[in-house]
Amino acid sequence: MHACRSNYGQPAKTLWYDRPRWIFLEFCVEDSSDVKVDLDDYKVVFSCKNADGVELYNEITFYARVNSKDSQNKRSGRSITLFARKWKEKVAWPRLTKEDFKPAWLSVDFDNWRDWEGDEEVEAAMVEHYAELMQKVTKKGPPPAMDDLDFTTQVVSCCPAKLSTENGGKKETLQGFHVILEDTILFPEGGGQPDDRGLINDIPVLRVTRQGPDALHFVQTPLEPGSEVQLVLDWDRRFDHMQQHSGQHLITAIADLMFGFKTTSWELGRQRSTIELDTPSMTADQVAALEQSVNDRIRARIPVVVRELAVGDPEVELVRSRGLPDDHTGPVRIISIEGVDANMCCGTHISNLCDLQMVKLLGTEKGKKNKTNLVFLAGNRVLKTLERSHATEKSFTSLLKTGPEEHVEAVKRLQNSLKLLQKSNLNLLRDLAVLTAQSLKNNLDQEPVLVLHRKDGDSEFMNIIANEIGAGETLLFLSVGDEKAAGLFLLAGPPEAVEKLGPRVAELLEGKGAGKRGRYQGKATRMSRRPEVEALLRTFVSERSAEQ
């Protein structure tokens, strides 16, 4: 295959292997550090320069789609090995021959052709060859099995640990273990990016944090140190974080280039993300221009490159950075958007801006200390938000019986109608309270305890009744709200009795209240215990009568 030529002008040699789940492409060159590899779902482009500085490249269209997000390449001194994951597993690609009627989807040096349909001796030689190759390009662990590239590693340590979580607003502490692995594909939280989720031997990883150079994986099942384990990454979560993080880098860089607005912090939220800009305000025109420029870069398919530099490298001083953590070890990681930005970052990113799909700026909010928060969505979040908005719009159209352009006016009319109804209902409720009080007065002499509950009442309803009845020896217990849930209550009567019974009533109803001038009223969370309150009041009256 003539993808690139060596410095001596000879065609670069290529070995191509078709495996059940993967396509392996070994690309031999004079110096692998000079070669760029750009892979998408349907093609791969190799490019480099010869000794004369002339750029050479070869664009190879694949026979079938591959999963570029789950593919990778590894390099040794004079070779590059591309591992492209098939979109449809265990579907063989056609065996290539020199015959003219075979599909011409790849230019290949047939003297170097190999595939997985062959005798066992050739198959065994392939495995040995790739085992040796993988051993050269990695220092950790044995080479992966040739039928897949599932990530395996070893457990270094497993120590008891606790994890504080919040579920439905309630905080709880989980008991478990912090596991350190020889290597990991799960990203620990950092750089504004949340941590990954995944599995270790089918055991859920609930949190990944960083401790110096190590990643701590919190699990609730212990793992034996020294044992080999398999890691599985929650790819949907990871890719979403990659899109939002790379989107933040791009927005930050363009906002600085266009307006000089510096980013002071950012947050990757569950539904939307926020960039804090060092400016007191940002106009709608500036937001629109920024969004346009950002999406122009995405359509230009600009590569995003990851580099590692030594701590003392002078180039480190030229990139945008908030400084290294105190416990940093190893090389400095630089994320570069070619021609746009270079930033020190530990997070995960896409390999090309086209993977962002698009960015939508949702507007700005007032930030802290005279700053502005810019809210944005990137990638799949834009599509999901559009889908939710469209579903909501359809529901409104069905309920309001109007087109989308008339929804706002229709809701305003409904709000005005509701206000009129509420006002009318309030007047009726007041009249009802007066009539109810008059009815209760007729029983004052016969009943030492009067109890009344109304589901649709309010505090004013109860106070009108209490005012109409006035002070006396009768204990009056009123309540409003859902009979089986929460509501309001009022206790009125002789001041001494109310002062003593009020806190006990609130305790029975699992609520709280306050008393003043012969009344005790407040909120309750368990209105279903009203019969217990009535029993308490009658017992009190009986005991007081017996004492007299």
Q: What average pLDDT does this structure show over 330-354?
A: 88
Q: Report the CATH fold assignment for 238-382.
A: Threonyl-tRNA Synthetase; Chain A, domain 2 (3.30.980)
Q: Measured between alpha carbons, how far is 174 from 171 in angstroms, rounded to an integer?
A: 10
Dump strand ranges (E) for 5-42: 14-18, 22-28, 36-39
CATH architecture of 151-233: Beta Barrel (2.40)
pLDDT band at 83 (very low <50, low <70, confident <90, very high): confident
Q: What is the pLDDT of residue 9?
A: 37
Which residue bears the tokens 């040096």?
109
Residue 385 has what pLDDT? 94
Mean pLDDT confidence for 445-473: 86
Strand order in the sheet with 372-378: 263-268, 273-277, 372-378, 359-366
Percent of the chain with pLDDT over 70: 80
Cα angle: 31, vertex 32, 38; to 5 degrees? 140
pLDDT for 143 beyond 80 = no
Residue 99 has pLDDT above 70, yes or no: no
Residue 117: the pLDDT is 41
Residue 313 pLDDT more than 90?
Answer: no
Tell me the CATH class for 14-137.
mainly beta
CB 302 within 8 A of CB 353: yes
- Give me the pLDDT at residue 12, please: 43
Beta-bridged to residue 491, according to DSSP, are 477, 520
Which range, of 16-25, 350-359, 425-434, 436-445, averages the lowest pLDDT? 16-25
- The residue that leads in pLDDT, 142 or 208, is 208
What number does CATH give the domain 433-547? 3.10.310.40
Question: For residue 13, how many other CB atoms are within 10 A of its CB?
Answer: 16
Give 318's pLDDT tier (boundaries 50, 70, 90): low
**412 half-sphere exposure, CB direction, 13 A CA radius:** 4
- Antiparallel, parallel or unpaired: β 55-61 and 263-268: unpaired
Model pTM score? 0.58
The residue among 294, 472, 457, 298 whose CA lies nearest residue 374 is 294
Of the ranges 37-41, 276-280, 328-332, 522-526, which one carries the lowest mean pLDDT score? 328-332
The mean pLDDT of 297-313, rounded to a whole number, is: 86
pLDDT category, 200, cuts 50, 70, 90?
very high
Q: Where are the domains of the chain?
A: 14-137, 151-233, 238-382, 433-547
Confidence of residue 541 (pLDDT cuts 50, 70, 90): confident
Q: What is the mean pLDDT of the chain?
A: 82
- Going by C-alpha positions, the residue among 307, 302, 308, 254 that lies closest to residue 282 is 254
Share of the chain above pLDDT 90, in %: 48
Chain position carrying tokens 């926020």:
274
